[in-house]
């Protein structure tokens, strides 16, 4: 009985996940870090950091990310002095100050980004990883495996998914209509008789954060809406998977080692058994 109930629960969760995914539109963007040989674009990560700093940090935090990692290899790779200067823009609460009563002080590289400053605004440290399995049959994330569809695509699609609401929607709907967000409110007027949605997405409480030309980049890169969305999505992919490049390198090294080992074992086995086969 326990196994049957567990299987039924899994199928119910899988079906609901697939249903939610089918009612949102997520674009398949081409990121440089996709695939076994992909890697983060350092310039793109620096642009994404700038977008986060000037726009997203007003509401959302990165409380699991230390400032010192901004200089790590495979990341934005800010020079040491720039990383320290960046950290000094923030203040963190230190419980050890004033005999344990605590007070704010200037952040140092070992400190982490502040948490979200707006009630209800999620922390973005692991957002790209949390949304990695949003897509694919029964929510298993197969599209991420075979097509590279994952959390970064979801975030970029969310940033570009703000649209005028459908004509069927009432004027008093709370939030903004977003074609990539499936977990929000949806008016009955925009549903078919079977309860399915006439239009992808739903209404999200967060207003549109990016509009295009929000920031200017030092490298002269395009700052249209789609470019900005991809840049900040790539940066949030790095905050969620800062060791992705090292993990890929270790995986490829392991595969090559196993291939060489397999060849050596085959040749050794053939050499050991060759005399015996001739006797037969």
Q: What is the pTM of this model?
A: 0.81
Task: Report d(CA 2, CA 5) in Å as an integer.
Answer: 5
pLDDT (mean) for 162-166: 95
62-84 pLDDT tens trace: 999 999 999 999 999 999 999 99
Token readout for 4 is: 């049957």
Q: Is the confidence at residue 31, as pLDDT, over 80?
A: yes
Token readout for 136 is: 């694919």
Task: Report d(CA 36, CA 256) in Å as an integer.
Answer: 13
The pair phi, psi for residue 235, each rounded to 5°, is -60, -40
167-212 pLDDT tens trace: 999 999 999 999 999 999 999 999 999 999 999 999 999 999 999 9
Number of other residues whose CB lies within 10 A of the CB of residue 169 = 17
95-119 pLDDT tens trace: 777 776 788 899 999 999 999 988 8
Q: Is the confidence at residue 140, as pLDDT, over 50?
A: no
Token readout for 153 is: 């695509």
122-132 pLDDT tens trace: 999 999 988 87
Identify the CA nearest to 46 among candidates 251, 263, 238.
Answer: 238
Task: Report d(CA 165, CA 107) in Å as an integer.
Answer: 42
Residue owning tokens 């994404």: 48
Q: What is the pLDDT of residue 21?
A: 42
Q: Which residues share a beta bridge with 92?
A: 105
Q: Is the confidence at residue 162, as pLDDT, over 60?
A: yes
Residue owning tokens 């209800």: 120
Taking the C-alpha atoms of 153, 154, 156 and 162 in order, what is their torsion angle to the nearest 10 degrees?
A: 140
To the nearest 10 degrees (0 to 180), the angle between helices 225-240 and 151-160 is 150
The secondary element (H helix, E strand) that includes residue 106 is strand 103-106
Q: What is the pLDDT of residue 252?
A: 83
* Domains in the chain: boundaries: 66-112, 247-280
């Amino acid at each position: 009985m326990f196994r049957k109930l567990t299987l039924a629960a899994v199928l119910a969760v899988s079906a609901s996940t697939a249903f939610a995914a089918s009612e949102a539109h997520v674009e398949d963007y081409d990121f440089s870090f996709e695939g076994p040989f992909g890697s983060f674009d350092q310039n793109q990560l620096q642009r994404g950091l700038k977008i986060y700093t000037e726009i997203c940090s007003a509401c959302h935090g990165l409380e699991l990310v230390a400032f010192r990692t901004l200089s790590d290899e495979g990341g934005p790779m800010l020079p040491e002095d720039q990383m320290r200067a960046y950290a000094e823009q923030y203040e963190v609460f230190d419980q050890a100050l004033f005999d344990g009563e605590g007070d704010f002080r200037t952040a140092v590289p070992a400190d982490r980004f502040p948490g979200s400053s707006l009630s209800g605004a999620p922390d973005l440290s692991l957002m790209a990883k949390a949304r990695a399995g949003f897509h694919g049959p029964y929510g298993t994330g197969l599209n991420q495996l075979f097509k590279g569809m994952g959390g970064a695509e979801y975030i970029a699609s969310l940033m570009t998914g703000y649209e005028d609401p459908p004509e069927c929607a009432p004027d008093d709907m709370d939030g903004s209509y977003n074609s990539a967000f499936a977990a929000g409110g949806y008016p009955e007027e925009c549903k078919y008789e079977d309860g399915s949605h006439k239009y992808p997405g739903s209404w999200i409480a967060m207003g549109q954060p990016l509009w295009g030309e929000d920031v200017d980049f030092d490298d002269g890169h395009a700052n249209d809406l789609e470019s900005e969305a991809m840049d900040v999505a790539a940066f949030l992919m790095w905050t969620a998977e800062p060791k992705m490049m090292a993990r890929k390198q270790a995986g490829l090294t392991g595969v090559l080692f196993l291939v060489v080992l397999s060849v050596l074992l085959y040749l050794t086995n053939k050499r050991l058994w060759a005399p015996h086969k001739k006797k037969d």
